[in-house]
Amino acid sequence: MAKPKIATTSLAGCFGCHMSLLDIDERILKLIELVDFDKSPVDDIKEFTGRCAVGLIEGGCANEDNVHVLQEFRKHCDILVAVGDCAIMGDIPAMRNNIPLKECLDEAYLNGPSTYNPEKIIPNDKELPLCLNRVYPCHEVVKIDYSLPGCPPNADILWQALVALLTNKPLELPYELIKYD
Amino acid sequence: MSDQITFTIDGVSIKGKPGQTILQAADEAGIYIPRLCYHPELAPHGSCRVCTVLVNGKPQAACTQPISEGMTVENDTPELKEHRCNIIDMLFIEGNHFCMFCEKSGNCELQAVAYRLGILAPKFSYLFPKKDVDATHPDIFLDLNRCILCGRCVEASKNVDGKGAFEFVGRSIEKKIAVNAEANLKDTNLAVTDKAADVCPVGTINKKRTAFAVPIGKRLYDKKPIGSEIEERKK
């Protein structure tokens, strides 16, 4: 029987959660026995090649591309897991959520103390995905099946959760692994 | 009048003293009832409702309800756990709780109760309200993003310190902690040695130059759930 496939992505995240996934150390060899990677920065596959058992989402939705990628993940994955605080609540990017977008862009591109921008250009090339009015946690955009908190979630919680999901076992996490920081 | 009151919590017979609340008697007996706004050295406020238990079938706040002979208390039930999770979820979404850079993380009672209840993520949508930070005081700063309106600082400042540096203002979702001064925290007579500066369960009232002194792994709730110190009293 073919191995189940997993897909991963980093939306408005810092790749810290992916680093934490790599931090499972030698268990990564066992992971490769358990699964094949589909769309993921790990293997640099850009588009889904088929149905995936598990999708791991790092980061919330800060722009329209994040929303598009997240919707693609929902379409192609049986189980979608919000990995890390950004996917769950938006986190550091979401600190802009109670500041109007225009003020954020002005601060970044016009008024910042180290900004040099004599033509007063705020990037608006059509190739750039549009910023959303605020950062949306993943569960506000698509149905999320599981959440693994942490900034980043430590390697053990990721490993235990993945193994449980891939082997159809109940997800029972010990106290020490549930952390929001 | 007898000097002992016998009642049950989840079917276990408990002996308490007259005048004790359910929470006090349970604590002495080594039974943990989850709570947030309650502080053992302050008068109970009964506002967070996390310690809600069923007394003879009716919901009551365990921190304010006195014990009485023969009462049956239900504490550890799936329904009450769900009720408590809902309250904790709402507290998280109604504020801006960024645990990853909060100096209280690991020692925070809101976070610790959430850990203990096994909450992986709140089930509601975040409100991302706009809240104020007041860093004007030389020794203390106030971050209302993290406030859960437990009222401990209000009570401690008024009735322990005798100062009244904090007060509630507004109602409903607009309710917040305000400082008792024309402008800012520095204009109050709050001192860093006050009880009010010590009792905040979350990262709202912080002492400056004390943050991140304890490394991750050694903080209060890193290894042991909140309430385990109470459960250790159980014989």
Residue A105 lies in a domain: no
Residues of the domain holding A164: 5-98+134-177
Cβ-defined contact of A181 to B114 (cutoff 8 Å)? no
Distance between B211 CA and the closest CA of chain A, angstroms: 15
User: Does a structural domain hold residue A25?
Assistant: yes
Contact between A180 and B105 using a beta-carbon 8 Å cutoff = yes
List the one residue out of A167, A18, A133 whose CA is nearest residue A87.
A18
Q: What predicted TM-score, i.e. pTM, was given to this entire model?
A: 0.95
Backbone angles phi, psi at A143, to 5 degrees: -70, 130
Among chain A residues, the shortest Cα distance to B218 is held by A176
Tell me if A98 and B125 make a contact (CB, 8 A cut-off): no
CB contact under 8 A, A89 and B126: yes
The pLDDT value given to residue A171 = 86
Q: What is the CATH number of the domain that holds A79?
A: 3.40.50.700
Domain contains A144: yes
* Residue A138 resides in a domain: yes
- If one counts the domains in chain A, the total is 1
Q: Per residue in B3-31, pLDDT tens?
A: 899 999 999 999 999 999 999 999 999 99
A181/B100 Cβ within 8 A: yes
Q: Compute CA distances B14 → A38, B28, B33, whole Å.
A: 58, 9, 14
- How do the domains of chain B map onto residue ranges? 5-76, 84-207
Distance CA B52, CA B75 (A): 8
pLDDT at B235: 63
Instruction: Give this complex's ipTM.
Output: 0.93
Contact B126 A85 (CB under 8 A): no
Residue closest to A178 by CA, chosen among B105, B227, B42: B105
Residue A103's Cβ-count burial label (10 Å; 0-12, 13-18, 19+) is exposed
User: How much is the mean pLDDT over chain B?
Assistant: 96
* Closest chain B CA to residue A140: B125
* Percent share of chain B, pLDDT over 90: 96
Q: B222 vs chain A: nearest CA distance in angstroms?
A: 7
Residue A104 belongs to a domain? no
Measured in angstroms, the CA of A114 and the nearest CA of chain B are apart by: 25
pLDDT on residue B13: 97
User: Is residue A121 in a domain?
Assistant: no
Q: Judge whether residue B1 has pLDDT over 60.
A: no
CATH number for B5-76 (one of 3.10.20.740, 1.20.1250.20, 3.30.499.10, 2.60.40.10): it is 3.10.20.740
Provide the pLDDT confidence category of residue B69 given band limits of 50, 70 and 90.
very high
Residues B167-198: tens digit of each pLDDT? 999 999 999 999 999 899 999 999 999 999 99
Please state, rounded to an integer, the average pLDDT across all residues of chain A.
95
Provide the CATH topology of domain B84-207: Alpha-Beta Plaits (3.30.70)
